């Protein structure tokens, strides 16, 4: 009986020590399990399920980098010639080595100046530009880079539906017609993801804005790139009311044109639109999970 009890005690002690070891091990495993998915999700939260629209600070000029929920990329414009290196640095910073879609909104240097170097340096899927030429070195240099890469320019015009990411609708709402004026020839792109929407307007001016309204296209967008760097040639009240944005982004740097004009700033303020500017905020990112926006500014 005594012997029996001591064996029992021994077995009990063994059981307790094994249990302790098992608990210790499982405790570790539990910690690892808790630790690793949390780490992964905080990393993937930045990309998975989010559309990122980044209004890159290129000084006086324009450039928008879009990264889709599945990692597809699109670049609309690339700033002026003096921003070529900055553009390559931005692409590196955002981990972009291929651009599925490139759009040169119109052939002005402050939009296409940096595009030649971008095309020289990264893989390009498709490129869209409106049917208008410019007799400038900048434009010629861009055409040369396109040719060297073996790319064929597709015509940017209203009504185009771009295949990019199956969860994101990308349509072109301008140019509706052919104009002599380069700014009015600007490709205007509407991007819709879930309940969220963006309108990226290039330098489209009042004539193009009027034609977009008359085209009957759905122009409403929560986020609007304010046309032509805030020049009073764009963002007419009727166009602004049609788009009815919650947020407005002005891509502007030091300039002698008086951009952004007080006329446009007043109009935006009267409509209660929250304004972000590259000259004040640096690069501005407005990301969407399909329902809500997350706004990040450089400063």
Look up tokens 């501005």; give the residue. Answer: 284
Residue from 57, 77, 100, 203 binding Zn ion (CB under 5 A) = 203
Tell me: does residue 110 bind Zn ion (CB under 5 A).
Answer: yes
Alpha-carbon distance of 105 to 227, in angstroms, equals 12
Contact stretch for Zn ion (CB under 5 A) within 74-82, 106-114, 143-151, 239-247? 106-114
Measured distance CA(299)–CA(297) in Å, rounded: 5
Which CB atom, from 193 or from 276, has the smaller least distance to Zn ion?
276
Helix, strand, or coil (residue 65): strand
Residue window 146-185: x/- pattern of binding to Zn ion, with contact defined by CB under 5 A = ----------------------------------------
State in angstroms the smallest separation of the CB of 135 from Zn ion.
18
Cβ contacts of 163 within 8 Å, gap of 6 or more: none
Q: Mark the segment that binds Zn ion (CB under 5 A) among 66-74, 83-91, 104-112, 116-124.
A: 104-112
Residue 179 per-residue DSSP state: -
Nearer residue to Zn ion within complex by CB, 110 or 116: 110
> Which of 203, 279 has the CB closer to Zn ion?
203
- Phi, psi (rounded to 5 degrees) for 240: -60, -40
Least distance (Å) between residue 223 CB and Zn ion: 19
| CA neighbours closer than 13 Å in the CB half-sphere of residue 115 | 36
Is the CB of 100 or the CB of 203 nearer to Zn ion? 203
Indicate the residue among 110 and 205 with the shorter CB distance to Zn ion. 110
In terms of CB distance, is 68 or 201 closer to Zn ion?
201
**Nearest distance from residue 33's CB to Zn ion, in Å?**
52
Comparison of 196 and 283: residue with beta carbon closer to Zn ion? 283
Tokens representing 42 are 């905080």
Best CA proximity match to 51, nearest among 154, 166, 202, 206: 166
Determine if 205 is a binding residue for Zn ion (CB under 5 A).
Answer: no
- Contacts of the segment 218-222: beta carbons below 8 A, 24+ positions apart: 218/190, 219/173, 219/190, 219/243, 220/244, 221/190, 221/197, 221/245, 222/196, 222/197, 222/198, 222/246, 222/247, 222/293
Q: Is 77 in the site for Zn ion (CB under 5 A)?
A: no
Q: How far is the CB of 231 from Zn ion (least distance, A)?
A: 8
Specify burial of residue 151 (Cβ count, 10 A radius: 0-12, 13-18, 19+): middle
Which of the stretches 76-84, 135-143, 199-207, 215-223 binds Zn ion when contact is defined by CB under 5 A? 199-207
| Contact yes or no for 260/230 (Cβ under 8 A) | yes
Q: Does 285 bind Zn ion (CB under 5 A)?
A: no
User: What's the closest the beta carbon of residue 251 comes to Zn ion, in angstroms?
Assistant: 8
Nearer to Zn ion, 51 or 225 (CB): 225
Helix (H) or strand (E) holding 64: strand 64-67
- Three-state DSSP class for residue 196: strand
Report in angstroms how near the CB of residue 109 gets to Zn ion at its nearest.
Answer: 9
- Of the candidate spans 30-38, 76-84, 103-111, 234-242, the one that interacts with Zn ion by CB under 5 A turns out to be 103-111
Chain residues in the site for Zn ion (CB under 5 A): 110, 203
């Amino acid at each position: 009986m005594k012997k029996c009890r001591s064996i029992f005690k021994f077995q009990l002690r063994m059981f307790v020590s094994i249990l302790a070891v098992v608990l210790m091990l499982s405790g570790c495993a539990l910690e690892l399990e808790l630790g690793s998915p949390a780490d992964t999700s905080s990393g993937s939260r930045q990309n998975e399920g989010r559309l990122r629209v980044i209004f890159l600070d290129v000084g006086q000029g324009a450039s928008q980098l879009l990264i889709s929920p599945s990692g597809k990329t699109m670049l609309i414009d690339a700033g002026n010639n003096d921003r070529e290196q900055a553009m390559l640095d931005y692409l590196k910073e955002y981990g972009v080595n291929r651009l599925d879609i490139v759009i040169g909104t119109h052939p002005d240097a402050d939009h296409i100046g940096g595009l030649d170097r971008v095309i020289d340096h990264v893989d390009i899927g498709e490129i869209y530009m409106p049917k208008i030429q410019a007799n400038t070195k900048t434009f010629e240099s861009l055409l040369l880079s396109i040719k060297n890469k073996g790319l064929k320019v597709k015509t940017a015009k209203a009504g185009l539906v771009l295949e990019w990411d199956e969860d994101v609708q990308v349509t072109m709402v301008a140019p509706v017609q052919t104009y002599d004026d380069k700014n009015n020839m600007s490709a205007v792109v509407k991007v819709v993801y879930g309940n969220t929407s963006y309108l990226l307007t290039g330098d489209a001016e009042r004539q193009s804005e009027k034609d977009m309204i008359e085209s009957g296209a759905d122009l409403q967008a929560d986020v609007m790139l304010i046309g032509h760097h805030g020049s009073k040639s764009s963002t007419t009240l009727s166009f602004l009311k049609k788009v009815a944005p919650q947020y407005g982004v002005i891509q502007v740097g030091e300039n002698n044109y008086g951009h952004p004009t007080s006329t446009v700033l007043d109009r935006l303020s009267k409509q209660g639109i929250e304004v972000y500017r590259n000259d004040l905020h640096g690069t501005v990112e407005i990301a969407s999970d399909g329902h809500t926006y997350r706004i990040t500014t450089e400063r």
